[in-house]
Amino acid sequence: MNKHFLIVDGNYFAMRSLMSLNKGTEECTLESELDQERFRNNLISNLQAIIDTFQNKNILDQVIFVADTGSWRRELCNKRPFYFDALGFEADTPIGYKENRKEKKEESSINFEHFYRIYNEWFATLPGFNIPTFAISNAEGDDLLYLIGEKLPSNCQGYVFCTDGDLIQVVRPNYHLFRNIRSKAASNGEIVVLNENLKYLQASNQIVGVQQMFESVSEYQDSKQSFFDQLSVVCIGDRLGETKIDRTFGAGISVANGNHTAFVKSFCGDKKDNVFPIIRWKSASGSRVYGPTEKMLDKLAPKPLAHYLNDETDVRWLIGNFISSVFNKLDLTLQMEDRQTLINKCYEHFCHNRRIIQLSLDNIPTDIQQQFNREFEQLSDIIFESTYDYDKIAAAINQESNQIFEEALEDLF
């Protein structure tokens, strides 16, 4: 089979398409009909651009899109952290999953009602381009990206297009993460792969070029070497494949450790998703609030942090040691609690966070998995035996562009 798949988080793709219209002082708020048409056009144009980018390296046979449709995580009991009262948090502090994003959207100049309407309408057109899509009630894109990875045969290669750090958890030997992050270290995007694909590297801080990697491994399969050679030189926005780049390990290429990521976020919280750490404390002046960090855990843990994710005995031990290390900083009401009771409360909060953060078949609800399995089976021929209709995508772009031009002329006269 040896198929290559680009799997795209549709919600991220849509927001990226909107933000790319905001240049300089110009802002696309979607309030006007012209803004809305420009957004529609940019969605289809960016679809063609991303296909071009991977297609010119001959590593693209099919594109798959996923979309958020609510979230089962929001339906979990909203757990108010036990330390909130001790630290004087307001009773109306948002505590639900991603509840902190509501206020930001309300304050934004973007009309999100129009954004989601246009995005959903556009997403519904993708099957018409022979692009399979998945949007399952109460499932987030992360869940669907994880489940697709579970279904991908070992002789196929897939790469997920999204920047979300949580998606490090989906990475497998044949399922990679292409993060469109333009940083000083990785100006052309970052590729995250599983450790066994780079097992021949001696140390995590070794900086070598991709070609050097493969030259140092005689037993590496030619087909896999060819794939990584091609993927490593992909540059987002380089539709003609003319940009020459050389990603290096430790900068443009990094190794995934999904259990490490899930453990750290379960213990330390995830601010962007409104997931609170297992315990917090105030500064001596009371003006700031602190919580556990990955660096603090590294100093205390004798084993790799990934080990603690699903080991109750060891994580309770680590929680106990952490409490001891910060005990004098804790609020007096927490210091006065029985030590084992405090550990139990922290562990209960850790388990709550882990259910939200960890991507696994144990956590994703059974009904979502069953619905996904049915839809994947129904779409299997399109996924594995077909490809996207590039000509139809190009024709749609021309149609959208002409419509925008005509409406702009009408506004002038």
What are the structural domains of the chain? 4-180+366-405 (3.40.50.1010), 260-357 (no CATH)
Q: What is the pLDDT of residue 218?
A: 44
Three-state DSSP class for residue 255: strand
Q: Given a cut of 70, is residue 406 above it in pLDDT? A: no
Q: Higher pLDDT residue, 166 or 134?
A: 134
Q: What is the pLDDT of residue 322?
A: 96
Q: What is the pLDDT of residue 237?
A: 79
* Beta strand 157-161 pairing with 4-9: parallel
Listed in sequence order, the residues at least 6 apart from 159 whose beta carbon sits closer than 8 Å to its beta carbon are 4, 5, 6, 7, 54, 175, 176, 177, 178, 191, 231
pLDDT, tens only, 372-403: 999 999 999 999 999 999 999 999 887 755 55
Q: What is the pLDDT of residue 351?
A: 96
Q: Given a cut of 60, is residue 220 above it in pLDDT? A: no
What are 150's strand-pairing partners? none
| pLDDT averaged over every residue in the chain | 86
Q: What is the pLDDT of residue 298?
A: 95
Element housing 66 (H / E): strand 62-66
Residues 279 and 83: their CA atoms lie apart, in Å, by: 7
Share of the chain above pLDDT 70, in %: 85
State the Cα torsion 297-271-11-162 to the nearest 10°.
-30
Q: Given a cut of 60, is residue 205 above it in pLDDT? A: no
Listed in sequence order, the residues at least 6 apart from 247 whose beta carbon sits closer than 8 Å to its beta carbon are 186, 188, 191, 209, 210, 232, 233, 253
In this structure, which amino acid lies at residue 79?
A: K
Listed in sequence order, the residues at least 6 apart from 75 whose beta carbon sits closer than 8 Å to its beta carbon are 138
Listed in sequence order, the residues at least 6 apart from 64 whose beta carbon sits closer than 8 Å to its beta carbon are 5, 6, 7, 8, 131, 132, 133, 134, 148, 383
End-to-end Cα separation, the chain, in angstroms = 56
Element housing 33 (H / E): helix 33-55
Listed in sequence order, the residues at least 6 apart from 102 whose beta carbon sits closer than 8 Å to its beta carbon are 94
Residues 214 and 218: their CA atoms lie apart, in Å, by: 8
Q: Given a cut of 70, is residue 363 above it in pLDDT? A: yes
Residue with tokens 């139809």: 392
Q: What is the pLDDT of residue 377?
A: 98
pTM: 0.89
Q: Using the 8-state DSSP alphabet, how is residue 88 labeled? A: T
Share of the chain above pLDDT 90, in %: 59
Residues 223 and 2: their CA atoms lie apart, in Å, by: 9
Three-state DSSP class for residue 172: strand
Listed in sequence order, the residues at least 6 apart from 360 whose beta carbon sits closer than 8 Å to its beta carbon are 146
Residue 398 backbone dihedrals phi, psi, to 5 degrees: -60, -40
Q: Higher pLDDT residue, 225 or 12?
A: 12
pLDDT, tens only, 97-119: 888 888 888 889 999 999 999 99
Q: What is the pLDDT of residue 212?
A: 55
What are 255's strand-pairing partners? 193
Exposed (0-12), middle (13-18) or buried (19+): which is 242, by Cβ within 10 Å? exposed
pLDDT, tens only, 22-75: 876 678 999 999 999 999 999 999 999 999 999 988 889 999 999 999 999 998
For 146, what's the count of Cα atoms within 13 Å in the CB-facing half-sphere?
23
Listed in sequence order, the residues at least 6 apart from 43 whose beta carbon sits closer than 8 Å to its beta carbon are 13, 14, 17, 118, 119, 122
Residues 86 and 334: their CA atoms lie apart, in Å, by: 7
Q: What is the pLDDT of residue 275?
A: 93
Q: What is the pLDDT of residue 409?
A: 40
How far is CA 391 from its chain centroid?
A: 30
Q: How confident is the model at residue 243 (pLDDT cuts 50, 70, 90)?
A: confident
Q: What is the pLDDT of residue 197?
A: 59
Q: What is the DSSP string of 279-332?
A: --EE-TTSS-EE---HHHHHHH-SS-GGGGTT-HHHHHHHHHHHHHHHGGGS-H
Q: What is the pLDDT of residue 310?
A: 94
Report how far apart, in Å, the C-alpha atoms of 380 and of each of 160, 373, 375, 391 are: 18, 10, 8, 22
Q: What is the pLDDT of residue 219?
A: 45
Residue with tokens 């002409």: 402
Of 198-202, 306-310, 356-360, the poorest mean pLDDT is in 198-202
Of 15-29, 133-147, 185-199, 381-395, the poorest mean pLDDT is in 185-199
Q: What is the pLDDT of residue 91?
A: 64
Q: What is the pLDDT of residue 207?
A: 42
